[in-house]
């Protein structure tokens, strides 16, 4: 894999982390401060969905062969989630461009969509890695999760006095994936038919 491809993959991950983690965290704190229920609810739902992305990073550490596929799926559903709720979309459209929080949220949604598309296109350039991450050609896709591995290894070593090895990462990632899928299925079967694309943000924060 040439240096330009390595740089492209690295940038794809770095940009994704900024728009998946950094900016929405800032917006979430901002929306709480401004008491914007619609945006707080939007981002609260977003964080629940985005857990799959972090699960996929753990699976990348464990070199699970379908880890990149799960990463792509997580990015698709995360991007979908920020556009999914009709009542939130209607609420955001009521604000003028002069409203800084609302405008920043709209820009972030479009940016996230664009960055997600770039990431998916980049991964499909290495189509074999989507179904088999363990080949030598796919090693570049495993490197971005190195920093997360170091953090988890230190935490794991502090709590249990053991290393956070690849088998452990794979087991924990698959277990978390199972719990996530069960939760998603439950939502799709029970909550979605009842509420549809209505987030109910007006009731957010009530007991």
Q: Total domain count for the chain?
A: 1
Q: Cβ(116)–Cβ(128) under 8 Å?
A: no
| pLDDT, tens digit (0-9, with 9 covering 90-100), for 56-70 | 988 988 888 898 899
Q: Residue 108: is its pLDDT beyond 80?
A: yes
Nearest Cα residue to 71 out of 28, 140, 19, 131: 131
Q: Residue 19: is its pLDDT beyond 80?
A: yes
Residue 118 has a CB neighbour count (10 Å cut-off) of: 15
Residue 11 has a CB neighbour count (10 Å cut-off) of: 13
Nearest Cα residue to 156 out of 140, 171, 168: 168
Q: Residue 6: is its pLDDT beyond 70?
A: no
Q: Residue 7: is its pLDDT beyond 70?
A: no
Here the tokens at position 47 are 């964080």
37: alpha, beta or left, given left = phi > 0 and alpha = psi -120 to 50? alpha
Count of alpha carbons within 13 Å of 176, Cβ hemisphere only? Answer: 21
Q: Residue 13: is its pLDDT beyond 50?
A: yes
Helix (H) or strand (E) holding 70, with range, is helix 67-84
| pLDDT, tens digit (0-9, with 9 covering 90-100), for 153-197 | 777 776 666 677 788 888 989 999 999 999 999 999 998 898 888
Distance CA 175, CA 18 (A): 27
Q: What is the pLDDT of residue 202?
A: 72
Domain that includes residue 187, residue range: 3-203
Q: 35 vs 138, which has greater pLDDT?
A: 35
| pLDDT, tens digit (0-9, with 9 covering 90-100), for 118-153 | 888 888 887 888 888 887 777 777 776 766 677 777
């Amino acid at each position: 894999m040439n240096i330009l491809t390595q740089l492209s993959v690295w940038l794809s991950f770095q940009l994704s982390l900024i728009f998946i983690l950094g900016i929405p965290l800032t917006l979430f704190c901002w929306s709480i401060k401004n008491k914007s229920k619609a945006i707080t609810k939007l981002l609260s739902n977003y964080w629940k969905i985005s857990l799959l992305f972090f699960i996929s990073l753990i699976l990348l550490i464990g070199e699970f062969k379908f880890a990149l596929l799960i990463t792509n799926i997580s990015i698709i559903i995360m991007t979908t989630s920020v556009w999914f709720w009709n009542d939130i979309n209607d609420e955001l459209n009521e604000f003028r461009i002069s409203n800084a929080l609302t405008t920043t949220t709209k820009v972030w949604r479009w940016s996230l969509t664009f960055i997600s598309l770039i990431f998916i296109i980049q991964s499909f350039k290495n189509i074999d890695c989507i179904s088999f991450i363990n080949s030598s050609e796919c090693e570049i896709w495993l490197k971005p999760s190195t920093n997360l591995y170091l953090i988890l290894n230190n935490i794991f070593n502090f709590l249990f006095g053991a290393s956070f090895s690849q088998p452990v990462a794979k087991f924990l990632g698959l277990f978390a994936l199972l719990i996530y899928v069960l939760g998603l299925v439950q939502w799709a079967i029970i909550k979605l038919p009842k509420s549809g694309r209505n987030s109910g943000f007006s009731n957010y924060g009530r007991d």
